[in-house]
């Protein structure tokens, strides 16, 4: 949270966020995700979010890339990926 706050002082065009859920309670994590979404939508900053909680990542998205062993194996909108029925075929 402190890192996100400090980065916002510089009015970034791109915000890189790695695993914002680490060490946060579910309520605080929802707040952080809302802030990230607001930064993207209202401030116009691009956000590169790396997150293992895929459902959350899909909701904060414009475009989602799924990676396996360092390669992009699927790219789509978060909305389309939330509707995907099966995931095991990717892994």
Q: What is the pLDDT of residues 51-79, one digit of tens each?
A: 888 777 777 777 888 888 889 988 988 88
Q: pTM value?
A: 0.72
Can you tell me the distance from the alpha carbon of 77 to that of 45, in angstroms, rounded to the nearest whole number?
18
Structural domains of the chain in order of their starting residue, each with its CATH number: 2-86 (3.40.50.300)
Residue among 45, 47, 43, 44 nearest 33 (CA): 47
Q: What is the pLDDT of residues 7-34, one digit of tens each?
A: 888 888 898 888 888 888 888 888 888 8
CB 66 within 8 A of CB 90: yes
Can you tell me the distance from the alpha carbon of 78 to that of 18, in angstroms, rounded to the nearest whole number?
18
């Amino acid at each position: 949270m402190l890192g996100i706050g400090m980065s916002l002082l510089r009015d970034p065009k791109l915000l890189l966020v790695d695993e914002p859920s680490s060490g946060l309670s579910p309520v605080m994590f929802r707040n952080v995700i809302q802030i990230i979404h607001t930064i993207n939508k209202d401030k116009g900053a691009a956000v590169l979010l790396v997150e293992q909680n895929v459902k959350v990542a899909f909701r904060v998205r414009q475009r989602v890339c799924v990676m396996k062993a360092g390669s992009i194996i699927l790219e789509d909108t978060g909305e389309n990926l939330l509707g995907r029925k099966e995931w095991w075929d990717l892994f």
